[in-house]
Chain A
Amino acid sequence: MKGGHPKKTLAPTTDGLRQAISARTDMSITPRQEKIIKLKESVELTQEYTNEIIGELNVTNEELTITRDYADAIIRTVRGPLLVLNKDLRIISANEAFYNAFKVAPNDTENRLLYDLGNRQWNIPKLRILLEEILPEKNTIEDFVVEHDFKDIGQKTMLLNARTLQQGPDKTSLILLAIEDITVRQQLEQQKDEFVSIASHELKTPITSVKAYTQILGRRFRKANDMKSVELVEKMDSQLDKLTDLIGDLLDVTKIEAGRIQFHESHFDFNDLVEETVEELQRTTEKHHIEQELQPSRTVYGDHDRLGQVLINFLTNAIKYSPHADKIIVSTAVDKDNVTLSVQDFGVGLSKEDQAKVFERFYRVGGSDQSTYPGLGLGLFIASDIIKRHKGRVWVESIKAKGSTFCFSLPMTK
């Protein structure tokens, strides 16, 4: 190694020692010398091993620092209030967002019991049950809503998420408690619901009078035997019905979201409902013939009008999405547990992707060839909710460019 410096060692290596002794004495090594050499060897090994451990410890320490910084950064970055508690519910740390949201200072927070904070304003019975009974058993709490009137910040609705984690060799429990203030979000939701509810009522008022005038005109034309005008007025009337249905859909969605949709259940003959609805929808299309393949009827228990709404939705979709076909098949199947209804069309069909999403709210089938189909993307979402609320099942089978079959099944009740 030209120009290289020999590695500095504090002690000569044992091999070197052995050679030095041999050279100086020109004799073989005595047992005592051999013992010393062995001892020296083991000291060196221990030294090496210790160095290695120290190196590893340094790395671990570095990793720990990185991990701690990482966790700290996360806690500080999270915009929602976050508390770290020990198993006795004493606060170990809180983030800025917590201090800001609840108008408290670190001095009055850290090392204090959660329930003692700010004049015991966190002493909330529902929260106590959550943290003392539910969390120890399940280790996580997800999206739990707690409402509370705080002394300084007023009435709040909070969404709580918590998780316990075991730390250190003695497995000390830590509790992470994330608190999301959803008060404003909830108020906005409520305002939106109220707005849609009032708007749809207000929109229906002028429609009611226009529809009434239209029907009066229709009757006058009929009396005068002016059938051409009767036809025009009837077209107006059916457009007004469409407008009413759209408003109804908007209102229904709001009700579904708020869990306020009401059902008026009764026993009724299923085939009667199917036949009535088919007759009604047949009047809206000249191009399609709606064929019925119905098995012997059964009495079902449910909301007659709402289930009729589902059927109307399936049939109007079948008509809408099969502009070049002339046939739609409505069939029923009955077994001892369920009655199943299917509406089959021979239209544009749905891709696998669309099939998975077609019952979602606001979902509209995209793509260039379908972008011209009108609609709010609410009908199937409402239909699916109505069927689910009847403890039934709703699904679609479809082949792109061949057609779709929309089905629902309802459980038979005694």
Chain B
Amino acid sequence: MGNTKKKILVADDNPAILDALKIMLEEEGYEVETTVDGATVQDIKAPLPDLLMLDIWMSGIDGRNVCKLLKSNAETKHIPIIMISATKDIEQIAKDSGADDCVSKPFQMEHLLATVAKYVKKH
């Protein structure tokens, strides 16, 4: 049954945020993979995640560029991307980068889970 879980990949350069998001999403019934290295997200290979959560400002890499790249690639453009950031202008940034949605930091858990659920069914 575990194999039918939807897979979410979260990229953020802060390990504590990744840890908290992993617990939060796993308790909600998702399979969660995390990375502190935003650059690796650019060339994700199959099996592709069902959803990608992407921080905007990561050490050494700009989440906006990663998002644009994935959305311009035929193999990855179907993956829903939710941008996460502490910046107040996140809505505009998400729109400009071609992301599907955004959630601002710090998260309100209910809002975050509802946004994720909009794009993936749990099972």
A204 contacts B105, CB within 8 Å? Answer: yes
Chain B residues with CB below 8 A from A264, complex form? 91-92
Size of the B side of the interface (Cβ < 8 Å), in residues, is 21
Produce 1/0 per residue, B1-33, CB < 8 A to A.
000000000000010110111011001000000
Chain A positions 192 through 226: 1 when the CB is less than 8 Å from some CB of chain B, otherwise 0: 00000000110011111101110110010000000
Complex contacts, B24 vs chain A, CB 8 Å:
212, 215-216
CB-based contact B19/A201 at 8 Å = no
Interface residues on A, range: 20 to 34
Q: Given B87, B91, B109, which contacts A212 in the complex, CB threshold below 8 Å?
A: B109
- Asked if B47 is an interface residue, CB under 8 A from chain A, the answer is no
In Å, the complex CA distance between A205 and B106 comes to: 8
A240 within 8 A of partner (CB): yes
Partner of A208, one of B17, B88, B91: B17
Residues of B62-116 contacting chain A, CB below 8 A:
86-89, 91-92, 105-109
Contact A213 B20 (CB under 8 A): yes
Q: Are A262 and B92 in contact (CB under 8 A)?
A: yes
Residues of B within 8 A of A244 (CB): 106
Q: What are the interface flags for A250-280 relative to B under an 8 Å C-beta threshold, 1 for contact and 0 otherwise?
A: 0100000000001010000000000000000
Q: Please report the number of residue pairs spanning A and B whose Cβ atoms sit closer than 8 angstroms.
A: 59
Q: How far is the CA of A204 from the CA of B92 in the complex (A)?
A: 19
Query: Which chain A residues lie closer than 8 Å to B27 at the CB level?
Result: 216, 219
Which residue of chain B has its CB nearest to the CB of A220?
B27
What A residues does B21 contact at CB under 8 A?
212
Q: How far is the CA of A205 from the CA of B18 in the complex (A)?
A: 11
Q: Assess whether A248 is interfacial by the CB under 8 Å rule.
A: yes
Q: Quick check: B105 and A205 within 8 Å, CB to CB?
A: yes
Q: Quote the shortest CB–CB distance from A30 to chain B (angstroms).
A: 110
Which residue of the partner chain B has the closest CB to A215? B109
The interface bits of chain B over 48-70 (1 if a CB of A lies within 8 angstroms of the residue's CB, else 0) are 00000000010000000000000
Counting chain B CB atoms within 10 Å of each CB, the highest count among A205, A219, A240 belongs to: A205
On whether the beta carbons of A208 and B86 are closer than 8 Å, the reply is yes
Closest to B91 in A: A264
Q: A248 and B88: CB pair below 8 A?
A: yes
Please report the C-alpha to C-alpha distance between residue A200 and residue B105 in the assembled complex, in whole angstroms.
12
Give CA–CA (A206, B19) in the complex, Å: 12
Given A201-B57, A264-B92: A212 and B107 interface contact (C-beta under 8 Å)? yes
Selected contact of B105 from candidates A208, A216, A262, CB within 8 Å: A208
Closest 10 pairs (CB-CB, A-B): A212-B20, A209-B16, A204-B86, A215-B109, A208-B106, A211-B106, A208-B105, A209-B17, A209-B20, A207-B106
29 A/B residue pairs, CB under 8 Å, sorted by A: A201-B57, A201-B86, A201-B87, A204-B106, A205-B14, A205-B16, A205-B17, A205-B86, A206-B16, A207-B105, A207-B106, A208-B20, A208-B86, A208-B105, A209-B17, A211-B106, A212-B17, A212-B23, A212-B106, A212-B107, A212-B109, A215-B24, A215-B109, A216-B20, A216-B23, A216-B24, A244-B106, A251-B88, A262-B92
On B, residues with C-beta under 8 Å from A are 14, 16-17, 19-21, 23-24, 27, 57, 86-89, 91-92, 105-109
